[in-house]
Homo-oligomer: A and B are copies of this chain.
Amino acid sequence: MIDIIDEIQNIVGPGAVLLGEDVAARLDSWPLIGGCQARAIIRPANTEEVSAVMKICHANGQSVVTHGGLTGLVGGAMASGNDIVLSLEHMATINTVDTINRSVTVGAGAILQKVKAAAEEADLLFPLDLGARGSCTIGGNISTNAGGNSVIRYGMIREQLLGVEAVMADGTIISSLSGVLKNNTGYDLKQLFIGSEGTLGVITRAVLRLHPLPRSCNTALVAVEDFDRLGRFLRVIDAALGGTLSAFEVMWNDFYQLIVADGSHHGKPLGDNHQFYVLLESTGAQQAADKIRFEDALEAAMANDLVSDAVIAQSKQQRQSLWAIRDDIEGLWKGLFPHISFDISLDILSMDDYVNEVRAQLTQRWPASKMVVFGHLGDGNIHLVLTVGSMEASEVQAVENIIYGALGHREGVISAEHGIGLTKRQYLKHSRSDAEIALMKTLKQALDPQGILNPGKIFSLEPEQATST
């Protein structure tokens, strides 16, 4: 009987199969904990090879974990020694940009930053942007429905896709790559593969929607003194900027204090005694006119007592300095060691109350705990980063129960961006009803009856064990 790996090697060629030490030398998770444990790493060259490999796996009940850039934060790409890893690194073609339809067709293995660069060379913008841009892949971005810095203006990647091609568990190719913006011919099948973390299909190609490249950029750091003003400021400034608001990133006072502390390299563009700091940005078509509008809108917000202080970037360098504060994740981790981080969404009106409740509970249990809060407030999404001085599993779980527990009755969600993967699986029920989870399992069962695609991610198909959560 021919071994399944040999069978696969006959299709993809020996150079496309990694075994033994070559597998262990590669990673399958981030932060970079350890080596990949898969039976083999297969690197197909095209969709037809992916299809042929999946047919073999399907016939043999062989589980498959798809790998992109391995920058996920929830263990969605972790493979066990029973799994085969399908790495799409050899499927990274970026086709010629279509400047009239404003789209580009790319392989799932294409690196986000390269796609963005290709668009820019054609004087267009692919707006998706996140810290991992230099190594994450479009396939990974799609299967996790990536968000990032430009959601307030352009939406998640779900809104930036015209077409998706994917291979189903049984090897069937579902190619919905027509690339037109409007297509109401039956079910929109690409939605199945977006954000389903590789559990319903292997994404192989995509048609991405591009936008005009902005010609202007205006940036400010703004101080606001209470949460009510913060919510009203967001609405007023968005209306005043006429749809050109491209960032509304909020840092709570604790975040700002930690990052611009004495001795940090950031300086203090604003004093550290304000309650909230907003990094505000607007992009448009004409620098001179847009600058006037931006300044007028900020002045009006000050006159209306929404904003207490503000500094407007007068150069590219000043802009970068302001963003460096918001983006100083390293400084954050250094100041909060060992850290636990969360990525939640909730109703903006409930946010202040939620943060206060969580902070009180943490302090009660761990008097020396520290937490900082920041995030994409314009999207209803905040990040909480905290330390309780320990990473013991029981301590981490106690923290998770506080963070997620306080979300439930506020109809918040436990993951705005990062996904569920393995690490948040046990908390899925905090955000989704039993009926919703049952429907997810119905879909999984219908599309992947043997459960061979990224097994155990998002939910387990095994009968549930009693838990204490």
Contact = CB atoms under 8 A, between A and B. Distances in A.
Interface residues of A, number: 102
A340 B192 CA distance: 34
Interface stretch (A98-106, A130-138, A306-314): A98-106
Contact of A446 (B159, B286, B442): B442
Nearest to A425: B186
Contacts of A442: 446-447
B284 A242 contact: yes
Interface stretch (A10-18, A111-119, A168-176): A168-176
A181 interface: yes
A59 interface: no
Copies of this chain present? 2
Contact of A184 (B101, B231, B417): B417
Interface stretch (A271-279, A325-333, A346-354): A346-354
A323 B1 CA distance: 72
B213 A239 contact: yes
A178 interface: yes
A360 interface: no
Contacts of A435: 172-175
Contacts of A433: 174-175
Nearest to A158: B188
Interface stretch (A62-70, A82-90, A144-152): A144-152
Contacts of A99: 235
Nearest to A168: B439
Contacts of A158: 188
Nearest to A282: B242
Interface stretch (A21-29, A389-397, A406-414): A406-414
Nearest to A442: B446
Interface in A410-469: 411-420, 424, 428, 431-433, 435-440, 442-443, 445-447, 458-459
Q: Which of A181, A186, A349, A445 has the most CB of B within 10 A?
A: A186
A281 interface: no
A268 interface: no
A107 to B, nearest CB: 19
Interface string A366-388: 00000000001001110000000
A452 B195 CA distance: 29
Contact of A189 (B175, B240, B419, B440): B440
A316 interface: no
A458 B186 contact: yes
Nearest to A419: B184
A37 interface: no
A100 B184 contact: no
A195 B189 contact: no
A104 to B, nearest CB: 13
Interface of A: 98-102, 123, 144-145, 147, 151, 153, 155-156, 158-159, 168, 172-189, 191-192, 194-196, 200, 211-216, 231-232, 234-235, 238-244, 283-286, 289-290, 292-293, 345-349, 376, 379-381, 411-420, 424, 428, 431-433, 435-440, 442-443, 445-447, 458-459
Given A178-B412, A213-B239, 16 more contacts: A101-B349, A151-B181, A172-B435, A172-B438, A175-B436, A176-B436, A182-B376, A182-B379, A184-B420, A186-B459, A187-B443, A188-B191, A189-B439, A240-B285, A243-B244, A243-B283
